[in-house]
């Protein structure tokens, strides 16, 4: 955001916004949240709020018997609850002299670079005008394949989208514990994580509350995305007084997770936001050229092409054992690529297909993972 400090993204979960049994809004938490955000914005710190709670607050209005909701029922509840939530935020923020804006995103926005840039420009414009964007998934149109699954992941993507320098995940527990503190008296809070690994995801286990869909596991997964985008993460308890301001001041309010290296914007998008349309399988020579030597991918190293994609789409790069070693923006469509796979660049030129680029995936449009399975890019 031009002329301003980097934004901060704050995510609050359903369990902190809605009472588990009565499904009523927890106005105390909303009031404290908006007061702290107002203090930030007034101090020149642009702030994005990612708020869950639409399904939880909308559900009672459907007057359904007590049972698990079907997908259309959840989507209907979200449509009811989203308006109720916004009304609450609108009231609370306007008392602080601030304007709010509703931004509903879906997974496919993140997978399409043009829509991604539009979403980013909209959010940036709002922040430039001291408006507080309130973001949620567009639950009404979300279907399985395009769901974020949970707003923790959404908030990590949003943090990347706006170039945030911190993501604060507010929930009903004050951080990650070595074991479930509700059942294990030995459990202790982890205050600082330097190098977030899968080990912590296992530690987070399947913990979760009755309201919302996240739990600690999805927070750690979201933190994996954010920290690899270069954004530090704090997991803290929503109803701790001044939790946001204290977290930003570096106080030990919960679990703080350090950022990993920072990637350039386009690579970030390739690594974390883009939906792959297909895959190329490459031989051992190409694996070593990509992983060890940092080269571009040429047709000669490709042994197989799967999926239907066009030039400009993102594809996965796999080794012959099937392990994903990276991903990138491909310069050829799937049909052309099948024609030229295994061929040397000079022969491709004589075929007349290669009017554009000799590289199938240029180095600058590619992310190669540090180690197989991990999503850190080089």
Q: Is 215 in the site for ligand GLU (CB under 6 A)?
A: no
Query: Could you give the C-alpha distances from 111 to 124, 270, 348, in angstroms and in order?
Result: 19, 9, 30
Q: Is 263 in the site for ligand GLU (CB under 6 A)?
A: no
Burial of 197 (0-12, 13-18, 19+ CB in 10 A): exposed
Which range touches ligand GLU (CB under 6 A), out of 132-140, 163-171, 200-208, 279-287? 132-140
DSSP reduced 3-state for 118: helix
Strands (E) across 54-203 are located at 100-105, 132-137, 166-171, 192-193
Residue closer to ligand GLU (CB basis): 53 or 160: 53
CB of 169 to ligand GLU, least distance (A): 11
Q: Which residues pair with 361 in a beta bridge?
A: 297
**Binds ligand GLU (CB under 6 A): choice among 213, 274, 331, 354:** 213
**Binds ligand GLU (CB under 6 A): choice among 32, 36, 106, 151:** 151
Residue closer to ligand GLU (CB basis): 134 or 263: 134
Q: Is 106 in the site for ligand GLU (CB under 6 A)?
A: no
**Binds ligand GLU (CB under 6 A): choice among 212, 232, 254, 278:** 212
Strands (E) across the chain are located at 8-12, 47-51, 100-105, 132-137, 166-171, 192-193, 233-237, 254-257, 278-282, 302-307, 314-318, 324-329, 366-368
**Binds ligand GLU (CB under 6 A): choice among 10, 32, 45, 53:** 53
Residue closer to ligand GLU (CB basis): 45 or 74: 74
Q: Is 137 in the site for ligand GLU (CB under 6 A)?
A: yes
Q: Is 174 in the site for ligand GLU (CB under 6 A)?
A: no
Burial of 68 (0-12, 13-18, 19+ CB in 10 A): exposed
- CA–CA–CA angle 360, 363, 366 (5° rounding): 85
Q: Is 15 in the site for ligand GLU (CB under 6 A)?
A: no
Instruction: Provide the 10 A C-beta neighbour count for residue 103.
Output: 18
Task: Tokens for 59, please give them.
Answer: 């559900």
CB of 247 to ligand GLU, least distance (A): 20
**Binds ligand GLU (CB under 6 A): choice among 30, 78, 220, 231:** 78
Residue closer to ligand GLU (CB basis): 136 or 255: 136
On whether the CB atoms of residues 117 and 125 are closer than 8 A, the answer is: no
The CA-based dihedral angle spanning residues 30, 36, 42, 45, taken in that order and rounded to the nearest 10 degrees:
-110
Residue closer to ligand GLU (CB basis): 56 or 223: 56
Q: How far apart are CA 95 and CA 88, in angstroms?
A: 11
Task: Tokens for 356, please give them.
Answer: 């554009």
Q: Which of residues 296-335 bind ligand GLU (CB under 6 A)?
A: none
Q: How many residues touch ligand GLU (CB under 6 A)?
A: 16
Which range touches ligand GLU (CB under 6 A), out of 89-97, 133-141, 222-230, 345-353? 133-141
Q: Is 55 in the site for ligand GLU (CB under 6 A)?
A: yes
Which range touches ligand GLU (CB under 6 A), out of 54-62, 229-237, 285-293, 353-361? 54-62
CB of 21 to ligand GLU, least distance (A): 17
CB of 174 to ligand GLU, least distance (A): 19
Q: Does an H or E element contain 27, and which?
A: helix 27-42
Q: How far apart are CA 134 and CA 10, in angstroms?
A: 10
Residue closer to ligand GLU (CB basis): 150 or 359: 150
Query: Could you give the C-alpha distances from 67 to 17, 75, 76, 89, 160, in angstroms and in order?
Result: 21, 16, 15, 29, 37
CB of 85 to ligand GLU, least distance (A): 7
Q: Is 124 in the site for ligand GLU (CB under 6 A)?
A: no
Q: Is 150 in the site for ligand GLU (CB under 6 A)?
A: yes
CB of 152 to ligand GLU, least distance (A): 6
Q: Is 136 in the site for ligand GLU (CB under 6 A)?
A: yes
Binding site for ligand GLU (CB under 6 A): 13-14, 52-56, 78, 136-137, 139, 150-151, 212-214
């Amino acid at each position: 955001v031009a002329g301003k400090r980097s934004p901060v993204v704050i995510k609050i979960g359903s369990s902190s916004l809605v009472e588990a049994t009565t499904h009523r809004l927890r106005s105390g938490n909303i009031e404290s949240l908006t007061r702290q955000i107002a203090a930030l914005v007034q101090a020149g710190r642009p702030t994005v709020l990612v708020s869950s709670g639409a399904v939880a607050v909308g559900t009672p209005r459907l007057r359904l018997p007590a049972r698990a909701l079907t997908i259309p029922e959840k989507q209907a509840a979200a449509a009811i609850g989203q308006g109720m939530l916004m009304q609450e935020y609108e009231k609370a923020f306007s008392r602080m002299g601030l304007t709010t804006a509703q931004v509903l995103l879906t997974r496919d926005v993140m997978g399409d670079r043009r829509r991604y840039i539009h979403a980013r420009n909209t959010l940036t414009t709002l922040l430039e005008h001291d408006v507080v964007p309130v973001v949620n998934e567009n639950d009404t149109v979300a279907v399985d394949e395009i769901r974020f699954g949970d707003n923790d992941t959404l908030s990590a993507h949003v943090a990347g989208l706006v170039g945030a320098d911190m993501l604060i995940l507010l929930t009903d527990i004050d951080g990650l514990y070595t074991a479930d503190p509700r059942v294990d008296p030995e459990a202790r809070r982890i205050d600082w994580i330097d190098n977030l690994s899968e080990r912590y995801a296992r530690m987070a286990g399947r913990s979760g509350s009755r309201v919302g869909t996240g739990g600690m596991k999805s927070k750690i997964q979201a933190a994996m995305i954010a920290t690899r985008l270069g954004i530090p993460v704090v997991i803290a308890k929503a109803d701790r007084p001044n939790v946001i301001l204290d977290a930003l001041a570096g106080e030990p309010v919960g679990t703080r997770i350090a950022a990993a290296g920072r990637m350039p914007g386009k690579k970030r998008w390739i690594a974390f936001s883009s939906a792959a349309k297909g895959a190329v399988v490459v031989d051992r020579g190409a694996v070593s050229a990509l992983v060890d030597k940092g080269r571009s991918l040429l047709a000669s190293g490709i042994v197989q092409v799967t999926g239907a994609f066009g030039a400009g789409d993102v594809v996965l790069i796999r080794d012959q054992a099937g392990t994903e070693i990276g991903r990138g923006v491909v310069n050829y469509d799937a049909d052309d690529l099948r024609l030229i796979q295994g061929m040397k660049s000079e022969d491709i030129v004589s075929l007349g297909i290669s009017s554009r680029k000799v590289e199938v995936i240029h180095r600058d449009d590619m992310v190669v993972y540090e180690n197989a399975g991990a999503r850190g890019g080089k």
